[in-house]
Copies of this chain bind each other. A is one copy, B any other.
Amino acid sequence: MLSLVDLRTRIASGALTPSDAVRLAQDAIAAREPEIGAFVCRHDTPVVPDHGPLAGIAVGVKDVIDTADLPTQMGSDIYAGWRPRGDAAIVSRLRALGAVPLGKTTTSPLAGPDPTGTVNPHDPNHTPGGSSAGSAAAVAAGMVPLALGTQTAGSVIRPAAFCGVAAIKPSFRLLPTVGMKTYSWALDTLGLFGAGIRDIAHALALLADRPSIDLQSDAPAAPRIGICLQDFAGAADPDALSALQRAGLAAEAAGAIVTDLVLPHAVAAAWGCQPVIQEFEARQSFAWDYANHPDALPPALKARLDAAQDFRACDYDDARRTAHRGRRALKDVFSEVDAILTLSAPGRAPAGLSSTGDPRFNRLWTLMGVPCVNLPVPGDGLPLGVQIIARFGDDGRALAVARMIEQGLAG
């Protein structure tokens, strides 16, 4: 994989020019893209800024995020050839930092449940996950050092786990969603994919303009980590549980205080509310698409929206109240642990491309708005990942604990 921090170090030392760095990405795309299909469109001769803290960094931008210089097609015929007037706020921010938004990456249609044609770089017979399929696959295949995804249920952390890359779904609204296709305004969150924890920490600190998010030289001293199985969301595969156990042992060996964590009922109860909030808002967000282009909607999303037509506002209001109580109860949990270590997905990437996998271990955390990091756990076969979660607004802590475990697993 292309490491953002390594590229930037070489550029800063003069060993590599920004243009050379972008060319590395283009060469990798030329080699891997025909097999993987992670991009919808891209610049062949991009303009590469000479300066800026992200100069030389080629970025894959999920195709639900507006770009003025490339079409934004949402993975849907409804938006075939669509050209927004301006860039999304996050794309403007990338450009201001000197990065090169090189291409648009594939997305499940309208960031919904239906699959794309993108394949998993580790095995073309398996899904890369979704809905941020192209962004996860492009980083995993070493085609770009940074990619943007979006998560409403589990569309960043799950594909990152399936593809074996680091990713963060930051605290809700830490990164601006202006210029993104809305699925659910209470949930939609921009996320980042990178080769390792250092890479996404550095990128997030710059994009969010909060230097304290970046990793400090000292690892956190004896962080208290609670291992959470999320059994309210169903059982996980033995492989996933084994990866979680290995990550816990690595944390302990690195000096963390690791305990088992059972979430308070108020937090667990919020899990079931996430789909209610998501689909009630999606009914409104996609009202124009649903009314004017019903036949162009992909089947799984169409079925969801059909069902959502009968949802009642009072059930949505109840769900929001339950979520609010869950957030307050979760705050108390974070007075007892510094981070939660849990599953990123029920198991490895499913075979075939008919499903993007199940976001059931991601829903709760997106609803809680807390920062979530996917950390790949080394091992045989298709990738496995674990999820590190910290309190709302403490993205730096989630990253620092993830880095500590990453080093422990490597050592």
Contact = CB atoms under 8 A, between A and B. Distances in A.
Interface of A: 68, 78-79, 82, 85-89, 91-93, 95-96, 173, 176-179, 182, 185-186, 208-210, 281, 284-285, 287-289, 291-292, 313-314, 317, 393
Given A176-B281, A178-B185, A292-B86, A287 B93 contact: yes
A287 B96 CA distance: 9
B176 A86 contact: no
Given A178-B182, A185-B176, A185-B178, A86 B285 contact: no
Contacts of A91: 288
A313 B96 contact: no
Contact of A95 (B68, B87, B291): B291
Contacts of A208: 313
Nearest to A88: B288
A287 B88 CA distance: 8
Contacts of A92: 284, 287-288, 291
Given A176-B281, A178-B182, A209 B288 contact: no
A185 B176 CA distance: 9
Quickly give the copy total for this chain: 2
A209 B281 CA distance: 13
A300 to B, nearest CB: 21
B185 A284 contact: no
Contact of A96 (B87, B88, B291): B291
A310 to B, nearest CB: 12
B89 A79 contact: no
B287 A89 contact: yes
Given A291-B95, A313-B209, A285 B178 contact: yes
A93 B284 CA distance: 8
A55 to B, nearest CB: 16
B87 A288 contact: yes
Contacts of A96: 287, 291
A313 B210 contact: yes
A301 B352 CA distance: 52
18 contacts: A79-B85, A82-B85, A86-B292, A87-B287, A88-B288, A89-B284, A89-B285, A92-B287, A92-B291, A93-B284, A96-B287, A96-B291, A176-B284, A178-B182, A179-B288, A208-B313, A209-B313, A210-B313
A18 B208 CA distance: 51
A287 B209 CA distance: 14
Contact of A288 (B86, B182, B185): B86
A189 to B, nearest CB: 12
Contacts of A95: 291
A208 to B, nearest CB: 7
Contacts of A209: 313
A78 B179 CA distance: 16
A68 B288 contact: yes
A185 B190 CA distance: 14
Rank and list the top 5 A-B pairs by shortest CB-CB distance, nearest first.
Answer: A92-B287, A86-B288, A87-B288, A176-B284, A89-B284
Given A176-B284, A185-B177, A208-B313, A86 B289 contact: yes
Nearest to A173: B185
Nearest to A289: B86
